[in-house]
Amino acid sequence: MKHLYRFLLRIYPAGFREEYASEMERQFSDEYREAAGRRERIRLGLRTLADLAVTAPGEIARELRQDLRYAARIYRRRSVATALALVALALAIGATTGIFSVLNALLIRSLPFREPERLVELSVAPVGLGSIPGGGRYEVSAWRNGSQYVEDAAFYFQHPMNLTFGRESLRVTVCETTANFLRLLGTDPELGRDFSGDEDIHGRNRVAMIGYDLWRQAFGGDPGAIGSTIRLNDEPLTVIGVAPRSFDFPEKTAVWAPTAYGPWLPGTFWGFDLVGRLKPGISLDQASTMYQAEIKRLYGEKPSFQSIKNGAHLVRLQDRLAGPVRPASLVLMGMMVFVLLVACANLAHLLLSRATERRHELAIRAALGASRARITRQLITEATVLTAAAAIAGLMVAQWTARLAAIVQPSQLASQQYSVLDWRVVAFALGLAAVTGIVFGVLPASLIGRMQPARVLMRARPGSRSSAARRMRGILIAVQAALTVILAAGSFSMGRSFLRLLGVDLGYRTNRVVTMRVELPRTTNRTAPLVRQALDRLRAVPGVESAGAASYLPLVAFHALEGTYFKLDPGDPMRSARLMLVSPDYFRTMGTPLLDGRDFVDGDRQGAEPVVVVTAEFARSYSNQRLVGRRIDLNPQGRSRYATIVGVVRSQRHWGPESDPWEVIYRPMDQWEQWTATFVARVRGNPERYLSVCREAVQGTDRGVPVFDVKTLDQRLADTLAKPRFYTIAITFLAGFALLVAAIGAYGAASHSISQRRHEIGIRIAVGGPPGRVRGMIFCQSVAPVCIGVIVGLFGAAGLGRFLKHLFASAEPAGLWMCGSAAISIGIATACAIWTATSQVVRADPTAALRVE
């Protein structure tokens, strides 16, 4: 019983325990002895427990308050150093937490699907769909039912459409799916019903499920929306359900509509995606093997499907959704940990130098009977106060970081929102603060633990040096320098990659160009006249120099591309190239130079001789022979359809500077029918001012057709470069920040060591040592750990540099040259900080230094 009580007494804080534990124990054993009988003893036990429960928290709080008051007093005394450490730590904890919130959303929090680990994406349909006429619904359902590895699978295809409800119209992302889509994912509608099994049969598929946000926006959240009619690209559909709030898979879908993926659909159509649910008990690896075997069996004998066969793979849906963001976030997280460590090293400097300054005081406390535990707790409390404050400030920084991350690399699903106020994220921040506080509070305390109070007091000099502390400080400086070199090397090489991106020749000029998109309902055949009319109106706008139209414009974020097979000479093997439709004047408007031949003219219309223009990249694949005047077969698979090459233009980098130039065949818009068009106009002066006039001009052609995505081409380029720009700026900022923190750390350490050695320095100068030499000596001693750190960092940077390419495609790994220059600049910057700190030596008055004694 007594032992149990002694054990329970540990709940009380150390200070109280030291003072009163033995008395309390004795009192308890007296009472226990006096208690007669079992009942009395049980009553005593209960009373004691109640007493403990009531008084222990009070004592803990009291002691904590004491420590906190003491800590606050001490930090006030060194306010500048404290503030710096605090800011550094807050930024580091905040940014790390912000990036953690991204990883949390992508990797940790589960998807809004039932058993998401069993959902996979199949890169190719293991049925003849898309290649064999007649392959379709029956084949698909036969495969779905008979597959050894998937329980069920759903096709889906996502594209923007014009949604009309009542009098309003909107541009929304529509997902056309098989009817089992939601059932497969395991998502129940918020309202209404799911698609029934036969609603993806032609004729019965006039139904739609709408997203939660759209429901709120279009119907004001009215349950009466179920049963009402909406029109998608003019086709009426009945709303049968509303999807749950955070469900917008795939990627920001607002309307789901069942589509008859039947024989009529494929042919040239490859744009669908396929998601499947693995059979229970089948691992991803097993399923992958079976899937690839099946694909090989299906496509094996056809050589033209080589690329399909090679590209066949299964990916966990979760990995696919996190795919684009994950590696970049992990790399950033790694860098943030470096910055955090640099900031922590600074905190450790602060605590360490305070601990050494206070050795005398702590020794006195120890000599007076304060236990090591008590002193350690005091130091840990001091450190934790600082880190807790930093964590709270850090949560605000995290909020910004997460918001920035959402702009630069938005998540694929609404349910993946990067939210900082998720319990895991908050726990992460607080945990980070607690660990930092404990680790860097224990560090100085471990020095105190080893100290022998008697010896410290006997020397009686508050400033006497401790070699353990000095060694530790040296290690901290070296670590800081090494980490900073790694970060700086990363930022140098990112900066260089980014500058290189800006210098890339795109094949078009982005300045002074206004662009806008129009999507026509697929039910009309009036596209060519409409485009012509719109162009005429656009050209008539005062200030517009030239205008053109194209089926697909470079830098426009979302659209499918078309391709075509062709043969240049009848004996050649069949090849493929991208196909784009452009109007006369398009190249001039885009600033794409004509290298040979002529541009399209108004006469290149339906009925006239078919003509094409090709890119320089195309010509290059024919070893730059002169192609103008040659005839090209655009339908080599069937009845030949010839066209004459009339011009060669410079290749455009379609997806911006990071993409490769393509082989493209351009055809005149008038000789082809299409439903989507992008208009471009080159204007005089600031293009921002022309956005609304140009929109009006095109809109005026047909009020019923929405004109959307009106932007300058410069803006589109900036959007394309947003990611590399963000990462470059982020890493440069991190590196600069780390450098600042490391330099402050080195400065602080040097000046601390000088203040600790004032006595010694005083003697050296008093016995005739030239101050310059003394300064040089101290400088060399302080710089030594920096040099070691820089060398370690050099190797670290060379090793870790290759991870940079995860941030954006054209980021180059940090080469030796970059690492070297980073190492040199960090070395110089830190040395400067230390040299500045040593200036005290020259100013030191030896007599004053000695008189302190």
Partner 1 sequence: MKTIDDEVQSQLPLPPPIFHMLLTLCHGERHGYALKREILRRTDGKLNLGAGALYGSIARMVERGLIEESETRPDLHLDDERRRYYRITPLGRRVAQAEAVRMRDLVQLAEDCLGLPETL
12 binds partner 1 (CB under 8 A): yes
Q: Which two tokens stand for residue 773?
A: 């030499």
624 binds partner 1 (CB under 8 A): no
Helical spans, DSSP H, in 211-267: 212-219
Give how many residues touch partner 1 by CB under 8 A. 21
Considering only residues 2, 27, 202, 524, which one is a binding residue for partner 1 as defined by CB under 8 A?
A: 27
Angle between helices 713-756 and 326-357 (to 10 degrees): 20
Q: How far apart are CA 5 and CA 285, in angstroms?
A: 57
Which range, of 26-34, 214-222, 337-345, 382-390, touches partner 1 by CB under 8 A? 26-34
Nearest to 345 by CA among 432, 252, 244, 440: 440
Which range, of 42-50, 675-683, 759-767, 776-784, touches partner 1 by CB under 8 A? 42-50
852 binds partner 1 (CB under 8 A): no
Which range, of 50-58, 562-570, 573-581, 716-724, touches partner 1 by CB under 8 A? 50-58
In the bound state with partner 1, the residue whose beta carbon lies nearer, of 62 and 297, is 62
In the bound state with partner 1, the residue whose beta carbon lies nearer, of 53 and 421, is 53
How open is the CA angle 568-572-574, to the nearest 5 degrees? 80
Q: Name 778's bridge partners.
A: none
For residue 607, give the 3-state DSSP assignment.
coil
Considering only residues 51, 361, 505, 602, which one is a binding residue for partner 1 as defined by CB under 8 A?
A: 51
For the CB of residue 51, give the shortest distance to partner 1 in the complex, in Å: 3
Nearest to 87 by CA among 335, 347, 341, 427: 347
Q: How far apart are CA 494 and CA 823, in angstroms?
A: 16
In the bound state with partner 1, the residue whose beta carbon lies nearer, of 26 and 193, is 26
Q: How far apart are CA 89 and CA 343, in angstroms?
A: 5
Q: Which two tokens stand for residue 52?
A: 């403990």
361 binds partner 1 (CB under 8 A): no
36 binds partner 1 (CB under 8 A): no
Q: How many CB atoms lie within 10 A of CB 621?
A: 13
Which range, of 47-55, 223-231, 316-324, 562-570, touches partner 1 by CB under 8 A? 47-55
In the bound state with partner 1, the residue whose beta carbon lies nearer, of 54 and 80, is 54
Which range, of 27-35, 376-384, 625-633, 843-851, touches partner 1 by CB under 8 A? 27-35
Q: How far apart are CA 473 and CA 469, in angstroms?
A: 6
30 binds partner 1 (CB under 8 A): yes
Helical spans, DSSP H, in 683-815: 691-699, 713-756, 758-766, 771-800
In the bound state with partner 1, the residue whose beta carbon lies nearer, of 52 and 333, is 52
For the CB of residue 786, give the shortest distance to partner 1 in the complex, in Å: 48
For 457-492, give one letter per residue: b (16+ CB within 10 A) or e: eeeeeebeebeebbebbbebbbbbbbbbbbbbbbbb
The secondary element (H helix, E strand) that includes residue 563 is strand 562-566
Q: How far apart are CA 258 and CA 277, in angstroms?
A: 19
For the CB of residue 188, give the shortest distance to partner 1 in the complex, in Å: 55
Under 8 Å CB-to-CB from 256, ≥6 apart: which residues? 174, 175, 176, 177, 181, 182, 208, 209, 210, 243
In the bound state with partner 1, the residue whose beta carbon lies nearer, of 6 and 806, is 6
47 binds partner 1 (CB under 8 A): yes
673 binds partner 1 (CB under 8 A): no
Binding mask 55-74 for partner 1 (x = CB under 8 A): xx-xx---------------
Considering only residues 1, 2, 4, 26, which one is a binding residue for partner 1 as defined by CB under 8 A?
A: 26
54 binds partner 1 (CB under 8 A): yes
20 binds partner 1 (CB under 8 A): yes
Q: In this structure, which amino acid lies at residue 457?
A: L
State how beta strands 168-177 and 229-232 pair. unpaired
For the CB of residue 373, give the shortest distance to partner 1 in the complex, in Å: 18
For the CB of residue 30, give the shortest distance to partner 1 in the complex, in Å: 6
For the CB of residue 58, give the shortest distance to partner 1 in the complex, in Å: 7
In the bound state with partner 1, the residue whose beta carbon lies nearer, of 56 and 595, is 56
In the bound state with partner 1, the residue whose beta carbon lies nearer, of 30 and 609, is 30
**Phi/psi at 122 (5° precision):** -105, 130
In the bound state with partner 1, the residue whose beta carbon lies nearer, of 52 and 718, is 52
16 binds partner 1 (CB under 8 A): yes
Considering only residues 2, 19, 202, 852, which one is a binding residue for partner 1 as defined by CB under 8 A?
A: 19
**Phi/psi at 35 (5° precision):** -65, 125
In the bound state with partner 1, the residue whose beta carbon lies nearer, of 73 and 76, is 73
| Binding residues among 155-174 for partner 1 as defined by CB under 8 A | none
In the bound state with partner 1, the residue whose beta carbon lies nearer, of 32 and 733, is 32
CA separation (Å) from 217 to 213, 225, 256, 449, 736?
6, 11, 16, 65, 45
The secondary element (H helix, E strand) that includes residue 255 is strand 255-258
Q: How far apart are CA 850 and CA 763, in angstroms?
A: 7
* Residues binding partner 1 (CB under 8 A): 12, 16, 19-20, 22-24, 26-28, 30, 47-48, 50-52, 54-56, 58-59
